[in-house]
Amino acid sequence: MSTVTRKTEMSAVNGTPEKRLFLSIISDYDLRTGICELIDNALDLAVANSTLNTLKIAVTLDADRQLIQVKDNAGGVHHDQLRLLVAPGASDRKFGRELIGIFGVGGKRAGVALGELVEIKTRSKGSKSAQINIDSEWLASDDWALAAYEIPAIEAGTTIVDISKLRRSFTEDDVEEISTHLRETYCWFIENGCELRLNNIVLDGIRFDQWAYPPNFHPSVATFDFYPDGSQKVTAKINAGLILDRDPEKENYGVYFYCNNRLIVKELRTRDVGYFVTSEAGVPHPDASLCRVLVQLNGPAELMPWNSSKSGINYHHLVFLQIRPRLIDLVKFYSSLSRRFRHSWESEVFQHTSGTPMVIPGEEMLASKKIVLPPLPRVRKLARIDELKATNSKVLKDKPWTLGLVEALGLVDVVMKQSLDTRNRAAMILLDSNFEIALKEFIVNRTDLFPPHVYNDSKISTIFKARHQVINEVKAHVTISPVLLGKVSHYYNLRNKLVHERATVGITDNQILDYRTTVEKILTKLFGLKFPKD
């Protein structure tokens, strides 16, 4: 006989969120992500209303007064719907739209995260102008009711967000960084009619499709649709190739993600996109720094693989997992191509600025097999002298007096490859002379350390009569280890035996290798030159 369990109804559970919801996310936002959330709100409203071409967004960052303002003409909020500005999760955005916002909390929490006082003025067409204030007192109370005030009329369709009593201060340098970030993040919107201003300066967009077209190795492009949830469509466009705008200091290579035309993350070089795996793109390295992949995803906002602050990618998201294998194929291919061209970037890559991309069929991007790409070129081994010049191209450009020092070390290798009985003697003399010339070049060209009016020709001539005096002058400004200087002294004495004594000493290959390494380390100290290992 079955037993029926009776359920006794208890009082309803109160599911009202607490104000701590706002405060708990303060650490999730910085100036960049907070400002972008407020801009995203305006963009979504304009896109939904098809008014992007007339949208104007003005951001003011006052570093002196520590004030933030974001003003837009996206349409405003009707005075009967002011709760949308406060209530977590409240939104009039419909699912299935290609928008940026989805959770109904971004703009609300961003304002609170930036400052202790958030004043919002808004007016939609045919509505009254209204203002609400979110302050510390309201956040501290348990009451969710928030006073709304009718204010003197502002322009219809306008929303103004003023943030003060900032939780973290910002500087003019921060403003410069924000400017670049906005130009990169909203490039597509700017190019499609949105006017975005920062401190009354109209911003232009920054693109990243600066492709090179080496013969037989043009950039690739693939456009395809897929249905990650079985019903709603996501369109992906993936561009990959070698770039013309390489910046060795900023390291601007890797994978870039756009979701619904907004840049989410750039210069991504993680295991999830193929780096740090030997069989894929390997460890990020300057040799592979011409590789760039742009991933553009468009579809319902709820299917975008971004995190909640739209500052990163969720690597466990179905959409990302769908494209990951073929994305890694492209990262691996163009990273390898960059490495194989590394000694001839100027001639093999940067000279080719136009062409037609290779089109990869969409079905290949969705298949389980790897993409069919051209065979990689054979690796061509450069002569060491050319390799040294290629490795140190920037130093040679900035410090042309180091060219002779680099070429002399290359000549040592040329000499050592000759079938000459006295090659080691010639190499020893060349290495030691190169060391001495390096000291002279350092003293002559570092006028900040050795003023010409003090170190004139007469003084330099006097100093160079004794090598220890030259070394002492340099040691006063550059720390060179006693071990290196000890080796220099040892090989200097060996050279003197060759020149001044009756008996000719024998010099081994290992001694030449050791002295070459010693001189290379000192040149690195003095001039920042780099010497690849054999």
Residues 342-391 pLDDT 10s:
888 988 999 999 999 999 999 999 999 999 999 999 876 667 888 888 88
Measure the CA–CA gap between 151 and 162, rounded to whole angstroms: 15
**Three-state DSSP class for 199?**
coil
Six token digits for residue 419: 């079938």
Q: Supply the pLDDT for residue 104.
A: 40
Q: What amino acid is encoded at 40 in this protein?
A: D
Q: Supply the pLDDT for residue 99.
A: 81
Q: Supply the pLDDT for residue 106.
A: 47
Predicted confidence (pLDDT) at residue 134 exceeds the cutoff of 60: yes
Among 61-70, 136-145, 310-319, where is mean pLDDT lowest? 136-145
Among 90-104, 255-269, 350-364, 407-421, where is mean pLDDT lowest? 90-104
Six token digits for residue 2: 């079955």
The pLDDT of 255-281, averaged and rounded, is 96
**What are the residue boundaries of the structural domains of the chain, listed by start?**
20-202, 220-366, 384-527
| φ/ψ of residue 263, rounded to 5 | -65, 125
Query: Mean pLDDT score of the chain, rounded to an integer?
Result: 89
| φ/ψ of residue 259, rounded to 5 | -120, 125
Compute the CA torsion angle 405, 409, 415, 421 (nearest 10 deg): 100
Q: Supply the pLDDT for residue 5.
A: 61
For residue range 460-515, list pLDDT tens digits in order.
Answer: 889 888 888 999 999 999 999 999 999 999 999 888 887 766 656 678 888 999 99
Q: Supply the pLDDT for residue 442.
A: 93
**Three-state DSSP class for 362?**
helix
In this predicted model, which residue has the larger pLDDT, 10 or 88? Answer: 10
110: confidence class by pLDDT, cuts 50, 70, 90:
confident
Largest interatomic CA distance in the chain = 118
Q: How far, in Å, are 6, 7, 254 from residue 2 at the CA level?
A: 13, 16, 64
Six token digits for residue 201: 């300066």
Measure the CA–CA gap between 131 and 336, rounded to whole angstroms: 57
For residue range 42-65, list pLDDT tens digits in order.
Answer: 998 888 888 899 999 999 999 999
Question: Topology of 220-366 in CATH?
Answer: Ribosomal Protein S5; domain 2 (3.30.230)
Q: What amino acid is encoded at 410 in this protein?
A: G
Q: What is the DSSP letter of 207?
A: -
Nearest Cα neighbor of 164 from 64, 249, 80, 92 is: 64
CB 159 within 8 A of CB 74: yes
Q: Supply the pLDDT for residue 337.
A: 97
Q: How many CB atoms lie within 10 A of CB 429?
A: 15
Encode burial over 40-76: b for 16+ CB neighbours within 10 A, e otherwise: bbbbbbbbbeebbeebbbbbebeeeeeebbbbbbbbb
Q: Supply the pLDDT for residue 271.
A: 96
Under CATH, domain 20-202 is a member of which superfamily?
A: Histidine kinase-like ATPase, C-terminal domain (3.30.565.10)
Predicted TM-score (pTM) above 0.85 = no
CB 111 within 8 A of CB 118: yes
Detail the DSSP E strand segments found in 167-233.
Answer: 195-198, 201-202, 220-226
**Three-state DSSP class for 316?**
coil
In this predicted model, which residue has the larger pLDDT, 90 or 494? Answer: 494
Percent of the chain with pLDDT over 90: 63
Six token digits for residue 66: 């520590």
Q: What is the DSSP letter of 77?
A: -
In this predicted model, which residue has the larger pLDDT, 25 or 2? Answer: 25
